[in-house]
Structure 1
């Protein structure tokens, strides 16, 4: 069964933060047909309690998926419907792994608890960096983005973005870099719940999702100035996100029908409008997504009813914004 793909109409007035009114008046549109020779469903694991969370897909189609339930990493390819355990040194001691991404060298970056780890393709541990406690206590790292000169990491337990500089390919210490509370000081610190994070191609602008404020926040890296991304009235508490040029892909899984929401942003990534909403089957509490060759790969976490029910899967859908016929 294919998901419902809907396109958004014209803009609405901006709603206040925390509003529950979401994305209405949708007209159904079919998605373009692409890559139908590839699987539509990928089985991450059939072992109980895995609860997949993060996903990364390398340029060659290698897929990595993290486990919130066990801390394990899994690896496969977009050409094969079955993933297998990725034997990554040190990960066996981690009880939960959330964000996972790869860099241009094919290194695998992942976060869990207070740790950021980097592995090579063979699973050898290259680097471990530990985040300091924040204003509310121990860090609980959620997601990361890799730019040319740094890795930025969100903290679910603290309203803090951490940063580790990259020098000659080597990773420096992971340190608190930005306390986001100044952008909305009246909001309770414990409810920011920072989640997905993305960067533009230059690495000069970050977009940070906050489940608690139901908003995406724009960060100027040079000045550390924080402002809300204006999406024309959409309450937008994203989980995982992906930025491709001026197209923002986000997974929403509470306060709105679960699924993939796509927005077109202005050149400065300050404003935009949601253009597509993709909901319904085959999603099962999706958490985040990756993109490869006009397809979106969406993680089905089952985190709403842990330990869930095997098999744990990733669903592949066509990208409705793709230019390919």
Structure 2
């Protein structure tokens, strides 16, 4: 290997350090908006959010059923031309997969679109023990889509085989985990999965708890967070770090818990309740920032503009 003279090497190192010190880091928080406008039209009431690895945002509308799309570097989102949503008045959960497909739920329907808005699949959930479904949130694993039902204590599942999606079927009636609790008040909300898809965490507003589900045997147990009452809306799971939005029974905001290796117990380590939130419903994580939806659902139809707030992730440099 050819040696570089010491003086030349030192000069090169000095120039490099000077250049790096003067150059802004890629997509640093100071370069990005703190607030994103989903829409300025009345009655939108944003609810769900997904951010892809390349920085594309998708936000759903509880008020209109529309999906909106934008970029993390642009403060304004635009309607996403998702075909087949004309008859769905409400869209709640929205997520993407590694192929860039956009999965969303609302009412009784689960839809899948490509990044251009072309409808790839549409599935309808059957009624549950309490009547018609109201699909709330979803998580996409390697082999399935799991969907929570706000109106029934039921988790639905659709199998994924390559590019095809199977029927959306009732998969787990969660009442057996807490049989003395009234069925109509389970109010299933956010749902996340570990990287292997073997464990689900399911939020229940009614029981004010998160429930751990083993996908192999459907064993259900309550996530133990000590004495903390913890009934989230939307959630994100990053390794052993659980991010959850609380808007009922606790000060509104983002709560972060550190979980054990089996995702059975944990401790709440951060409470972000002083942010610019307006009835937050869920969140997404990208880089070192958390993107939190301001739904205004407590005072429908709310007041435009409808927004997403970005806040720093205090656990950014922790081990996942």
User: TM-score, normalised to structure 2's length?
Assistant: 0.90
Distance 1:183 1:72 in 2: 35
**Could you say which residue in structure 2 is the equivalent of 1:195?**
189
1:25: which partner in 2? none
CA–CA distance in structure 2, aligned partners of residues 92 and 104 of structure 1: 26
Alpha-carbon distance between aligned partners in 1 of 2:67 and 2:141, rounded to the nearest angstrom: 22
Deviations 1:147-196 (A, max 9, x none): 00000000000000000001122110000000000000000000000000
* Alignment partner, residue 317 of structure 1: 311
Q: Distance in 1 between matches of 2:255 and 2:246?
A: 7
Alignment pair present for 1:73 and 2:79? no
Is 1:234 matched with 2:228? Answer: yes
Residues in 1 aligned to 2:168 and 2:294: alpha-carbon distance in whole angstroms = 30
The structure whose Rg is larger is 2
Q: Contact 2:275/2:311 (CA < 8 Å) preserved in 1?
A: no
Residue deviations 1:32-70 (CA, integer Å, cap 9, x gap): xx5111000000000000000000001100000000001
Is the 2:153–2:173 contact (alpha carbons within 8 Å) kept by the matching residues of 1? yes
Query: Is residue 2:218 matched to residue 1:224?
Result: yes
Match of 1:284 among 278, 285, 293: 278
RMSD value over aligned CA atoms? Answer: 0.8
CA distance in structure 1 between the aligned counterparts of 2:237 and 2:127, rounded to whole angstroms:
29
- Give the TM-score normalised by structure 1: 0.89
Mapped pair 1:159 → 2:153 = yes
Looking at secondary structure, tell me which structure has more helix per residue: 2
Structure 2 gaps of 5+ residues are 1-27
Q: Distance in 1 between matches of 2:213 and 2:224?
A: 13
Count residues with an aligned counterpart: 291
Q: Which moved more, 1:152-161 or 1:272-281?
A: 272-281
Q: Using the alignment, how far apart are the partners of 1:214 and 1:133 within structure 2?
A: 24
- Give 1:173's match in structure 2, choosing from 162, 167, 180: 167
Q: How far is 1:281 from its partner?
A: 3.5
How big is the shift at 1:223? 0.7
User: Relative contact order, CA 8 A, sep 6+: which one is greater?
Assistant: 1
Q: Distance in 2 between matches of 1:259 and 1:136?
A: 31
